[in-house]
Amino acid sequence: MTTLWVLFIFLNFDLLLKAGHCTESGGQVLSITPNTQEQVEILKNVSTQYQTVLWKPVSPHNIKELTQVHLYVPAKSSETVRNLLQRQNIDHEVMLPNADVIIEMQMRNDSTDPRSGSTFYHRYHTLEDLSLNNRPNKKAMWIDCGIHAREWISPAFCLMFVHYSLSFYNQNPDITQILDNMDVYVMPVMNPDGYKYTWTKNRMWRKNRSSKKNTSCIGVDLNRNFDANWCTIGASPDPCEEIYCGAFPESEPESLAVANFLRSHKDSIQIYLSIHSYSQMLIIPYSCSMDEADNHSDLYEMVKQAAENIRRYYRSVYTYGPGAKTIYLAPGGSDDWAYNIGIKYSFTFELQDRGHYGFLLPPSHIQGACNEALIAVKTIALKVIEKTQTETGPRETV
């Protein structure tokens, strides 16, 4: 008997937004390329002042010569920052001139249409739009979304994945084979407090919203809070940094809850997937060190095939490989931690786009981004099923 078990973990918060919620206009996203070490240092300083928000890379420590930097600059600082960059002859251009207009449009969320409506899965949703289902497990795949609050396309994918799975089971052969062979746990918003905050206060917020003693700075980067080379190079012990690792591994209720669940189900969960944005990347362990995973060849072949399938069907280019070598060192990540406890098919997806809209990916792009991610999920899941069946032999049918 075929069973689809999907777990939604949901916290109920008051997140009712008034239509026409306004933000300041005039904020921009700049694409900046420092050509010398001196310019790198200037840009590091700029990225920590003027209420700017560093999009790419996530931390000033990762700014390098001849490497593109994406920086959100609020309206009141735009002229000052651009004049500074011009005086220092730092190459830059306006990548997104109307960032605040996009934010305002995206936050005008009208959730009156039913879930069955044709537009429901092509919009971003508040926490109240995400529902609850709760069942046990067998061999399984875990998917979490929304670990970083501002990455709205991530929860949108989790919502779309569940809808697709329920709608196309027994119609699409790939999803049918996947659901016939494994259960699926889906956590649509791993960072609910942070996600709520991006709807009500600060669209660019990344961390959770926990407060700490002896500092006025708020939040921990949940993807630096797991026990995988915790708080080494690539994370920060400074609570005011975007990549603050927390007081100790699993110090946060969100990361602790996920870790406890995965530990108690590690013998049944074969695949761990964490959905992020942006950059169009398919990442395998390790991000916390330069080491290769024991089954590196298998993991690499899976993300390579997934990237090839995305390009074949959608003509989008995805980079793939170990996180530390593909992007930069990022210790304390959930994917590396999951791998280390025995979930040997562990991945992080960075969805659309490559930087034009960045975290402000328009709702009109949701379907395309989710379709690309879905192709990757199906490719990897089918490969894992094939490999598992090869190792254990075919299942007996009755």
Name the 3-class secondary structure at 378. Answer: helix
292 is catalytic: no
What gap in Å lies between CA 81 and CA 52, rounded to an integer? 9
What gap in Å lies between CA 175 and CA 374, rounded to an integer? 10
CB atoms within 10 A of CB 292: 16
What gap in Å lies between CA 19 and CA 109, rounded to an integer? 7
Q: Which H or E element spans position 6?
A: strand 6-7
Residues contacting 165, CB < 8 A, separation 6+: 4, 6, 175, 179, 184
| Phi and psi torsions of 316, nearest 5° | -100, 140
Q: Dihedral, CA atoms, 97, 328, 147, 177, nearest 10 degrees?
A: 110
Q: What is the DSSP letter of 56?
A: E
CB-based contact 129:111 (threshold 8 Å): yes
What gap in Å lies between CA 271 and CA 258, rounded to an integer? 15
CB-based contact 317:355 (threshold 8 Å): no
| Total residue count of the chain as it appears in this document | 398
Name the 3-class secondary structure at 33. Answer: strand
Q: What is the DSSP letter of 254?
A: H
Could you tell me which of 201, 145, 72 has the C-alpha nearest to residue 366?
145
Q: Which of 151, 252, 350, 372 is catalytic?
A: 350
Q: Please, which residues bridge with residue 269 across strands?
A: 140
CB-based contact 57:5 (threshold 8 Å): no
What gap in Å lies between CA 398 and CA 389, rounded to an integer? 17
Sign of dihedral through CA atoms 201, 206, 210, 215? Answer: negative
Could you tell me which of 135, 138, 136, 142 has the C-alpha nearest to residue 338?
142
The residues annotated as belonging to the active site are 350
